Structure formats: C-alpha cells, structure tokens
Amino acid sequence: MEIQWYPGHMAKTKKKIQEELKLIDVVIELLDARIPISSKNPEVDSIIQNKRKIILLNKSDLSDPEVNKLWADYYIENKQDFIFTNSITGKGVRELISAMESKMAHVLERDAKKGRMNRQIKCMILGIPNVGKSTLINKMAGRSSAKTGNIPGVTRANQWIRVSNKILLLDTPGILWPKFEDTETGLKLAWIGSIKDTIYDREGATLRLISFLREYYPQNLIERYNIEIDSDDEDITVYEKIAQKRGFIQKGNNIDYARTAEMLLDELRKTKIGKISFERP
C-alpha cells in the first residue's frame, strides 16, 4: 500500500524555513513517540545543518512505556538531547525551556560581555502535521497563541510567539516530504492521523494495522474486542470478528468494512486499544 500526501503549501513552508534559519539559535524537532523514525522528516537535518537541536518525543502518553525506555537508551547512546513530552498536559515543557537556556548559556554570557544585554533566545519548532506543535506552544506560552486542531495542516503560516522574556519561538506549519521512500512510513503516519483519512485506503490500512497488532499486541485486540484469535486465522478473519462483535453488519449479512475501519483507527488514536508503539530502535 503506497500513501503519499504533499500539499502545495508544504513546499512553500520548506523554503520559508530555510530563509528564517539564519535568525534561529535552537531548533526543536517534534517527533511522535509512537513512530520516532517515520515521524522524522529526513530533510530536517540537511535543512538545519549544524544548528543546536533538541528532539521532543511528543504524545509519549500514547506510546508503550517499555518501548519509550528503549528509545531513551537509544538517544542517550547517540548523545542526542531528547525529552519525552505531552503537549496536552504540559509534561516536559519546563524541562524543554531549561534545556534551551542551558544550550544557549555560553552564547548569552558572551553577548552580555559585549554589551548585548537581555538577548532573547530564538527557537524554531519543526514537525510533521498533527504531531501536537500548536498545542505544545500554547502550553509553553501559557495561552492560545497558535491555532490548534486535530486536522493535519491546520497551522498554515509561520508565527513568532513570545514564550517568555527570554525566549521567542517560531512556529511553522507541519511539513512532510515529497515522497515516502518506504511504504511503511506512509502507513504508520496514516495510522496515527498525520495524513488525512480521505486520501488513502482506510480499509487496507486497517487490515495492515490488525496484522501489526496481532504480532506485537495480540492481547490488546483480544481484550478490547472480546474476540478469540486462532493462530491460523487470517488477518481478514480477525477484521471480520471485530466487525461482528461491534454489530457492523450491513443488509444481506455483509460486513461493513468501512465502518469497522473508521472505528478501529479512532480507537487506536484514542488509546482505547492500549498504549501502542509502532517502531523500536
């Protein structure tokens, strides 16, 4: 299954980001803790080059705690600054602000000696659509500074936002990259809601989701939908068992695959199936 989505405004955003970078001290790369690989825009590192960077693993309340530990070990081993965050509750926000100030401490001290007092730290936040950028910024600033929503692409213009007297933050619209080289990347982005549901085959994506959950989280499926899964069941059989349990049957006793897909994806994103991580280091 190949999923591609690259609206025109994303190309303009990339160009704008490159223009604004000369003003930036620290780049905040916001990833989804459930898919740290697939939610990382492969073009970001080449765009920001040698800028100071902090990785935020957002929505860490939705991901598997045990897998979170694996990712923590991975980033520590690779000497990469990272913070687990929850943009809704504000978890990790104070740690982020402290980390930015720490990264810039020597620069601010140097500038102060040159007479440039009260210099503000200018940061840029980058991430894919629907990863929680605007919600996180609002928590950092303590007010509704940026538009928020659960529709990919809701932030369409770069905005400078005052986080504190010390920090200015440039919010940017979520950007994907022109082509997913790995078909699994588009699939995982679709599962978590970073690609509009209207542009891909939801039923096909749901069938693949069931396959993944059977391999890594079979008990979650069994308990959530009160079904039995036999080792020789095909994925489509499990799909149909879930539909039947929920009563998603059309006239003629036909399975309503579309309604079942909508329900499964919705419950996945709301963690009703459990805290799920789709990638491991």
Q: Is 133 annotated as a binding residue?
A: yes
Give 58's contacts (C-beta < 8 A, 6+ positions apart).
30, 31, 32, 33, 85, 86, 87, 127, 131, 132, 136
Q: Is 14 exposed, middle or buried (0-12, 13-18, 19+ CB in 10 A)?
A: buried
Contact status, residue 244 vs residue 238, Cβ threshold 8 Å: no
Find out whether 153 is annotated in a ligand binding site. Answer: no
Compute the chain's Rg from CA coordinates.
Answer: 21
- 86 among annotated binding-site residues: yes
Tokens of 245: 């349990």
Is 277 annotated as belonging to a binding site?
A: no
247 marked as part of a ligand binding site: no
Residue 85 backbone class (left: φ over 0; alpha: ψ -120 to 50; beta: rest): beta
Tell me if 185 is assigned to a ligand binding site: no
* 174 in a known ligand binding site: yes
Query: What crossing angle do the helices spanning 235-246 and 218-225 adopt, rounded to 10°?
Result: 20
Report the distance separating Cα 226 and Cα 243, nearest Å.
Answer: 11
87 is in an annotated binding site: yes
User: Hey, what are 145's tokens?
Assistant: 């500074």
Q: Is 145 annotated as a binding residue?
A: no
- Known binding-site positions: 58-61, 86-87, 130-135, 174
Instruction: Point out the annotated binding site for GTP.
Output: 58-61, 86-87, 130-135, 174
